[in-house]
Amino acid sequence: MTTTAPAADARTLALAHYAARGVLERILDRHGITFQQQVALRTAATAATAATADSPQTPDALAARIEGYLKADPADVRATLDELLARQLLGTDGAHLHPTDAGRELLAAVAAEVAPVSARIWSGIPAEDLAAAGRVLAQVNERADAELAALTG
């Protein structure tokens, strides 16, 4: 008996996204952090390691990156950054934001817990299938960003 895989479409993409996000959010709940907080903290950590004197991560620059990733309301992103500052998971260095030691430790703990789950989810999927899916998802993302820009511009 052979089964035909469903064609990729908005519904299958959404179902996969919400299934994976549901797993992540259960893990995040155990660490007392929300999805948006985790994305913001991870973005700050990534920005901190990539930042140079020419591209410091000011609150505005960090917020813009997070808004772009999540397609989130700017006020919600600012509130999330404020929450991370209040919990001392983010700190300030002059006009720049950076993860604190506690923020980096939280990210490491979450990553350690997510890694084996993620490995089980992705294991056994052929590399060529992952490459094809990556190409399709990159096109969907690009086109959706263009549509969103047209709707908001």
Q: pLDDT tens digits, residue range 65-107?
A: 999 999 999 999 999 999 999 999 999 988 899 999 999 999 9
Q: What's the rounded Cα separation, in Å, for the pair 63 and 68?
A: 8
Q: What is the pLDDT of residues 109-139, one digit of tens each?
A: 999 999 999 999 999 999 999 999 999 999 9
The total number of structural domains in the chain stands at: 2
Residues 118 and 128 reside in one and the same domain: no
Q: What's the rounded Cα separation, in Å, for the pair 123 and 111?
A: 17
Q: What is the pTM of this model?
A: 0.87
Q: What is the pLDDT of residues 132-147, one digit of tens each?
A: 999 999 999 999 999 9
Residues 47 and 117 reside in one and the same domain: yes
Domain range for 61 = 22-122
Residues 76 and 132 reside in one and the same domain: no
Q: Would the pLDDT of 54 be above 50?
A: no
Report yes or no: 44 and 97 within 8 Å, Cβ to Cβ: yes
Residues 35 and 89 reside in one and the same domain: yes
Residues 35 and 98 reside in one and the same domain: yes
Give the position of tokens 């789950």: 117
Residues 101 and 143 reside in one and the same domain: no
Check residue 153 and give its pLDDT.
76
**Other Cβ atoms closer than 10 A to 22:** 9
